[in-house]
Amino acid sequence: MTRKNCLLIATIWAVILCQICGLFMLLSYGNSGRTPTAKVASVTNSESIIQRKDSPRKGESVVYTHNIKLSTGSNFTSREVSNDSVPVKLLTSHDQKTSIGSITGEKPTPPMNNSDVIRAVTPSSQDRNGSGQVINPHGYGLLIDEPQACLDAAGAPKEVFLLVFVTSIHAHIEQRQAIRETWGSPREVRGKEIVTLFLFGYNGNANLQRQLEEESRKHHDVLQEDFQDAYRNMTLKTIMGMKWASTHCPQASYVMKTDDDMYISYDNLIKLLTNATTPSTNYTVGYLAIRSAPRRRPNNKWYMPKQLFPDPVYPSYVTGGGYVLSNDVVRKVYEKSLDTRYLPIEDVFVGVCLKLLNIIPIGNKDFNLHHVNYSRKLYKTLINSHGMAPKEMRRIWSDQLKATLR
């Protein structure tokens, strides 16, 4: 055998041995239980996760001390989001392949490219309800918590009748203060205890975050989780509230969801809920939307792609400006949300969950979809009105107090 042939054979064996060693190392790494860290995905992909990398432990109340920067070219459409500095959760190779399942979780569909729909992929242990496959886990952590909100001074559960969640964004400081000074100020109405809390995601603005933390220290009425605060993540805020109610205030008889541009009459609402004909279970009430059609144009505020919801009409649902659920429905909707495909329109998503639970929402004429100009006559039975500026809230509240004193 010539020297040239020997060198050729030696080279071939060296290549084969390198490939065998590489395969052995790959198999060893895969069996170690570790997941290689992937690059930060572009946020224009709906499967990107914008979330704290180091979510707080259960029961821990923390705030951000630093941010992880996204690569340039981020495309969030939230009016409040800074593209420069937002928390990021890195994706694993498994996360990138996760698809959005059907509404019942039976027929997965390809992931949609919607920059505002930001989902979690790693459920915590409490997010497994045992009734179906978890396809829409709510694995976010609390950045600001109010664990004492439904407890008395001794740490025992208070007899909360109505728990109210008001969705807000960081910049709406005046709206929140107006609510605290007006319709959201009562702690007891007609002998029934009320707890009012504001819900937030994380928006990446350090100054606004510090202001929010100060609000929390002063008023003790702020809940915040580490998902990106964007309009099409409103569903996450609502599910966040239902999860918190189920774990921190399960004794509340009813839970209301509303927004920070609404005026709510707690007096009229308590009248309704304490009426002898009002159910205490399987109860959902609000302004009822019937046979509402999905908006299919991408530039529409309430855009709903066929990939997410193919049906021509939504199931009946109560509109998000203000609706009330009985205690048991809050828990059921939260649990059902875990095995129901995420929809970026929160009241529609709740309506789908109710449909799957065979719970029929009820319409009530005193809940309103639009703005109602103030008069004592119109507001005598009104429960909510939309599109309220802080000045108008104060004016109505002042006149309502005068009417009560007469």
Q: What are the pLDDT digits (tens) for 314-336?
A: 999 999 999 999 999 999 999 99
Surface-to-core class of residue 361, CB atoms within 10 Å of its CB (0-12 exposed, 13-18 middle, 19+ buried): buried
Contact 309, 340 (CB under 8 A): no
Selection from 166, 383, 379 nearest residue 285 by Cα: 383
Q: How far is CA 367 from the centre of its chain?
A: 23
Kindly indicate the confidence band of residue 381, based on its pLDDT and cuts at 50, 70 and 90.
very high
Selection from 221, 245, 213 nearest residue 335 by Cα: 245
Which residues neighbour 9 within 8 Å (Cβ) at sequence distance 6 or greater? Answer: none
Residue 359: HSE in the Cβ half-sphere, 13 Å Cα cutoff? 24
Distance CA 116, CA 44 (A): 8
Q: What percent of the chain has pLDDT over 70?
A: 67
Selection from 148, 126, 147, 130 nearest residue 138 by Cα: 126
More confident position, 200 or 89: 200
What is the 8-class DSSP label of residue 295? B
Task: Check residue 405 and give its pLDDT.
Answer: 77
Instruction: Enumerate the domain spans of the chain.
Output: 142-405
More confident position, 11 or 154: 154
Dump pLDDT digits (tens) for 37-78: 322 222 222 332 233 334 333 333 433 322 322 222 222 223
Task: Check residue 22 and give its pLDDT.
Answer: 53
Q: What percent of the chain has pLDDT over 90?
A: 66
CATH architecture of 142-405: Alpha-Beta Complex (3.90)
Kindly indicate the confidence band of residue 13, based on its pLDDT and cuts at 50, 70 and 90.
low
Give the pairing of strands 222-228 and 192-202: parallel
Task: Check residue 12 and give its pLDDT.
Answer: 66
